[in-house]
Amino acid sequence: MIDAVTIKEVKLQLGELCKQKRQSYDMSQQDLAEALELSRYTVQKFENGKNATLDTVLKIVNHFDLLGNLYQALKDLEKSNDINSLY
């Protein structure tokens, strides 16, 4: 039995991904906020797993060149009726 992933865990993981990507680009929270025309507080909260808007998330995803990947993943999910198929 695999533990179900929670919404909170996904938000925390999203924040971690942002932090890791940001640091790999050698940017501070302030740098990222300015690049995306967001406040540092918004970046700060996002990286710590708080709720955010889709626009904020996608701005960040886009900045790290992951928007195309996300789009393709969504397209794939739409095609397959059941991604968890055993076959």
Partner DNA sequence: TATATTTGTGTATTATAATAAACATAAGGA
Partner DNA sequence: TCCTTATGTTTATTATAATACACAAATATA
Give the chain's end-to-end CA distance (angstroms, integer). Answer: 19
| CA angle (10 as vertex; 33, 77 as ends), nearest 5 | 105
Rule CB under 8 A: say whether 55 interacts with its own copies: yes
**Footprint (CB under 8 A) of its own copies, residues 13-42:** 13-14, 16-17, 20, 24
- Least Å from the CB of residue 25 to its own copies: 11
Q: Which does 83 bind (CB under 5 to 8 A by kind): DNA, its own copies, none?
A: its own copies
- Least Å from the CB of residue 29 to its own copies: 18
Distance CA 8, CA 5 (A): 8
